[in-house]
Structure 1
């Protein structure tokens, strides 16, 4: 079982119980904090690379990502 608190603290953004975390290779890992066996890896455009979610949940997560991805960008200031 993943350490939910550590994942939530390390997340770049949390939307409606989904923790979005940037990876070194430019992908985004998303974990459902309420159901930790439910996860997806997205590319920078929101396309699914890997998942354990059903299609409906993937669609919801993709919408959350696409509507909020501006908040995932790393500031280089």
Structure 2
């Protein structure tokens, strides 16, 4: 299992709906409190990504297009 001092990379994928992404923000907060050395990345559609850039509990916002998701899934 993980300890609080571990450096963990966490990827949160919430690109389908903006509401789902917003409701995921408390999760990012809890992850940062539990694992202070973690890196939390967020995957979102490019049109909503600016709303999450600079958030104190998200280290990196990764953007994708709707066209990319149709090809991948």
Give the alignment's TM-score, normalised by structure 2.
Answer: 0.30
Say which one has the larger Rg. 2
Give the alignment's TM-score, normalised by structure 1.
Answer: 0.30
Higher relative contact order (CA 8 A, sep 6+): 2
